[in-house]
Amino acid sequence: MHRLTIEVITAMCAWAISAVGQSVSTGRLCPQGGPYNMIELVKKLSPAARIYCPGTEEFEEASIRWSVLEEPKVNVIVVPGTVDDVAETVKFANQRKLPFLAYNGAHGAVTTLGKMDHGIEILMHQLSSVEIAKDGKTAKVGGGTMSKTVTDTLWEAGKQTGKLMITVTGACECVSLLGPGLGGGHGWLQGHYGLIADQFVSMDIVMADGSRTIIDKTSSLWWAMKGAGHNFGIVTAVTTKIYDIKHRDWAIETLVFGGDKVEAVYQAANDHFLTNKTQPVDVIHWSYWLNNLDANPNKPVIIFYVIQEGVKAVDTVYTKPFHDIGPLSAEAVGGSYTDLAEWTDISTSAPPCQKAGLANPRFPIYLELYNVTAQRKAYDLFASAARGSSTFSRSVFMFEGYSMQGVQGIDPESTAFAFRDANLLVAPLITYLPADSDLDKRAAKLGEQLRQILYEGSGRKELRAYINYSYGDETLQQWYGNEKWRQDRLQALKRKYDPEGKFSFYAPIA
């Protein structure tokens, strides 16, 4: 019986600590018996590795996730200090028949993660590094590096040489590079260079059996790592393309509208950005529907951003159509690339980044255009469910209109990421304080209804869902593409590289 309860493990940890008189986090001691007896693993780990057991402050802190809905159940945490530590931990878990899961930014929220039952968390944080190649064209990024660390390190290095550098990361600062990147990865620079995954040049991976390998475009696995990568291994480092920045300046205009302007705002977005794909590569439009009690105590407002690269203020040609609609307020700010996350409320200190004990399911859908009638229907439902002091009042409906030229310029068949032709990444995020399964069901019903409205409005046969935002009940076709060849290829690769399904917790292929 290998499913020891948390209580038993805690007791064993406590025994181990008192027996040696050391803290678990520095002494790397843990349970002494059963499959979780970590002594055998400890002998193989580097001095930099850490093991955290339940009942310790370190364990509590290192197991907190952004969404508490259907969380993985963790019994022991290993914090590798080296790549070999990752490999040894995987081998150890396999020997003991224990499930394991890499933790990085811990912002993954797909409910399939909940299938990790009494397993080993492999916390990647010590494998955080950014090494810029001498030719300045690539950087080797450790498997546990956060988005912000990548951007800040490149930026700082550039300041010293006088040549500022960037790469595509997630727009949000609090996610890792690889969590988003293995599923595609959207970010501010994708209009120029494509998705995060499109930047990858090679990868160091710990495979399902604990062996280490380095792959690049010559490997049959390469295609799958760019869109379905969570299913195949733990990436301990990735070499990724970097670029000299084209423009130092960026600017944003934030327009706030009442809900009465839904049709006008999204018609204008269609007319000026989406119909005929006229959104320029250096312009991004985003919007949120959320409650802002100052602006309107009764109904969510529309926060509409127009962002432009290479200017000190957004060109009025892009903002005038929205000013003409009559916003409640408008604010223009200028700065640099590194200000974008703060401007759009997704910096490390912003509320959406925090791990606050909330359930955070999302229900994503990729779209080409806004269907204005569907936007109205969705707004009315969202407003009635999220209004005032209701259970779902912290919810946010997100509409991400990144520029797409870089993404769409890459052969769609060249990656497991399947949805390059879409223009918009849209998702209701139903945020609430968890209570019971009835509430979870109500939240899921609301999210599904909102997505269904937009899906019906899209006129498409198939629903396309970004795996990194997905709820967890989507089909394989909805996650990885409707084409039979894609599904066959993924299944064949899964059989070859992970036949026992060790990496089958995050939007699993099998």
Ligand X SMILES: Cc1cc2nc3c(=O)[nH]c(=O)nc-3n(C[C@H](O)[C@H](O)[C@H](O)COP(=O)(O)OP(=O)(O)OC[C@H]3O[C@@H](n4cnc5c(N)ncnc54)[C@H](O)[C@@H]3O)c2cc1C
Residues that bind ligand X (CB under 6 A): 66, 101-109, 124, 143, 170-172, 174-176, 178-180, 182, 185-187, 230, 234-235, 346, 352-353, 468-469, 505-506
Residues found in the chain: 510
16 or 171: CB nearest ligand X = 171
Place of tokens 């390059």: 420
CB of 377 to ligand X, least distance (A): 26
DSSP helix/strand/coil, 167: coil
The residue (of 179 and 481) whose beta carbon lies closer to ligand X is 179
Measured from the CB atom, is 58 or 268 closer to ligand X?
A: 58
For ligand X, give the closer residue by CB, 321 or 401: 401
- Starting at the earlier edge strand, list the strands of the sheet with 424-429: 329-336, 249-257, 296-309, 283-292, 396-401, 424-429, 365-367
Closer by beta carbon to ligand X, 122 or else 372: 122
299 vs 494, which CB is nearer to ligand X?
A: 494
**How near is the Cβ of 486 to ligand X at its closest, in Å?**
20
Q: Minimum Å distance from CB 290 to ligand X?
A: 14
The alpha carbon torsion through 315, 320, 326, 330 (nearest 10 deg) reads 10
Residue 150, token pair as written in the block: 């990548």
Q: How far apart are CA 326 and CA 333, in angstroms?
A: 19
Nearest residue to ligand X, using CB? 179
* Closest distance to ligand X from the beta carbon of 469 (Å): 6
Give the nearest distance from C-beta 353 to ligand X in angstroms: 5
Three-class HEC string of 202-271: EEEEECCCCCEEEECCCCCCHHHHCCCHHHCCEEEEEEEECEECCCCEEEEEEEEECHHHHHHHHHHHHH
- Rounded to a whole number of angstroms, the minimum distance from the CB of residue 86 to ligand X is 9
Show the tokens assigned to 52. 């955290």
Residues whose CB falls within 8 Å of the CB of residue 413, separated by 6 or more in sequence, listed in order: none
| Cα–Cα nearest to 343, from 301, 286, 401 | 286
Residue 264: count other Cβ atoms within 10 Å of its Cβ: 16
For residue 332, the minimal CB distance to ligand X (Å) is 23
Spatial distance between the Cα atoms of 476 and 215, rounded to a whole number of angstroms: 25
Query: DSSP string of 346-366?
Result: -STTSGGG---S-B--B--EE
* Residue placing its CB nearer to ligand X in the complex, 147 or 371: 147
Pick 29 or 203: Cβ nearer ligand X: 203
Side chain identity at residue 477, one-letter code: Q
**Cβ 172 to ligand X shortest distance, Å:** 3
